Amino acid sequence: MGKIEGIFIQNYGSLRDITLGRTYTHQEQPPLKNMTTIIGPSGNGKSTIADVFGFIADCLDSDVEAACDAGNRGGFEQIRSQGETDPIKFELYYRESNNARPITYEVSIDLDRAGRPFVKEERLRQRVEAKGRPRSFLRLQNGSGFAYEGNFGGRDDDTGVSDGVQVPVTLSDNRKLGVVTLGAMKQYTRIEKFLKFLRSWYLCYFTPDAARKIQTSAPQPYLDRVGSNLNNVAQYMYRENKNEFVKILKDIQDKLPGITRIEPLKMPNGQIVLQFWEKGFESPFFTQKMSDGTLKLFAYYLLLHESNPRQLVFIEEPENGLYHHYLADLAEEMKKNVGRGFSKQLFVTTHSPFFVNALSPEEVWVLRKEADGFSVAQRVSDYPFVNELTEQGVVVGDLWYDKYFG
């Protein structure tokens, strides 16, 4: 359980200095909503925000050097904001539940003398009392420092005041994150929990063609980034709780236009294939024959029905390949799905006013570029007139289309 109330990004591509929501240094800002949608013209940094989450996830899976080189990133020098010499830095302001004190996670990545990326600093801190000063329970500089065991304790880095069980730490590889190494150990209770949260992120780059590929039979609990294991997830859900899965399919079938019924079919090798009945036809079609739009919607709705949901899901441009009339419903369902609690958070980038029409001004952020080429972010509710107009019933996507912002 838990969510990010805010994120601060420094020197990552066009995001030279961006804050979304509440962070340690921006306490006055309202926290991010469970649904955060990012809009703005092409080239203004939306995918770069998605990539920050992808980059952090890649750092967890391997190390910062490999993450810099992964995908299309092209290495540290390509990622760091042009003209900057300071490290790339992220700050996540994380809260586990309503009554938990927020945790600040800071990490900065720089090049060493040999031009190799390494983790320059890493820190996790939390306040002891509600209004007190934060105490670090993980602090590493160039791979050495300390961590605190258990649920309590930490050090005030300014005054040196500390309590709890401090353990000196030296990592053998300064390209690896301390949260990964220490979070693997039971005694670092808070680090372990935080790592679990980071690991539960899901970046969705769903491509219908990937979902059409026939996979080998093997149940898998979660959809992968492109959705290539749709049938494996179906197999997993069928095995874990067949009745529940059939119920979920019924729920989804009502949301897919033109589809009257979806049923799983178990093959002799244990694989599950999905049968879709379309209006007007007697026999079902299999996944491979479904339209891009139907497959995408199906995958999104399946994602929203995960039984053990991933805490943070990032979806880039869900509107691609979808008929515009389906988008408001999809946005509504996503909002309903994330609710108001601490179990799930959704980030979406979009170019669709139809999608945005289902959202409130606090849920939408605009990215635009300043004359210097770097992005700035602003919450739609902070633009003039917007709140007054939405209170009168005007919808956010229409205001966007009419250029009140964006």
Ligand X SMILES: Nc1ncnc2c1ncn2[C@@H]1O[C@H](COP(=O)(O)OP(=O)(O)O)[C@@H](O)[C@H]1O
Q: Kindly list the residues in this chain that would bind ligand X in the complex (CB under 6 A).
A: 13-14, 40, 42-48, 78, 80-82
Q: Which stretch binds Mg ion (CB under 5 A): 27-35, 44-52, 334-342, 392-400?
A: 44-52
Work out whether 360 is an interface residue with Mg ion (CB under 5 A).
no
- The answer to whether 174 touches 117, Cβ cutoff 8 Å, is no
Other residues' Cβ atoms within 10 Å of the Cβ of residue 332? 14
Question: How many angstroms separate the CA atoms of 198 and 59, rounded?
Answer: 11
47 part of the interface to Mg ion, by CB under 5 A: yes
Residue placing its CB nearer to Mg ion in the complex, 29 or 47: 47
Q: Minimum Å distance from CB 402 to ligand X? A: 21
Q: Minimum distance from CB of 136 to ligand X (Å)?
A: 30
Q: Which of 92, 110, 111, 93 is nearest to 102 (CA)?
A: 93
Please provide the distance, in angstroms rounded to a whole number, between the alpha carbons at the two ends of the chain: 33
Closest separation in Å from C-beta 366 to ligand X = 11
Please choose, out of 6-14, 39-47, 230-238, 268-276, the segment that lies near Mg ion by the rule CB under 5 A: 39-47
Among Mg ion, ligand X, none, what binds residue 318 when CB lies within 5 to 8 Å by partner kind? none
Q: Which does 25 bind (CB under 5 to 8 A by kind): ligand X, Mg ion, none?
A: none
Choice between 82 and 288, CB closer to ligand X: 82
Q: Which does 40 bind (CB under 5 to 8 A by kind): Mg ion, ligand X, none?
A: ligand X
φ, ψ for residue 48, nearest 5 deg: -65, -35
CA–CA–CA angle 73, 205, 316 (5° rounding)? 85
The item of Mg ion, ligand X, none sharing an interface with residue 345, based on CB under 5 to 8 Å by kind, is: none
In whole angstroms, the minimum distance from the beta carbon of 370 to ligand X comes to: 12
Cα separation values, 58 from 16, 55, 271, Å:
20, 5, 30
Residue 320 makes contact with Mg ion by CB under 5 A? no
Interacting residues of 143 by C-beta distance below 8 A, sequence separation 6+: 118, 119, 170, 171, 172, 173, 174, 178
Residue 7, CA distances (Å) to 115, 194, 273 in order: 27, 15, 40
Residue 375 CB, shortest distance to ligand X, in Å, is: 7
Chain residues that interact with Mg ion, rule: CB under 5 A = 46-47
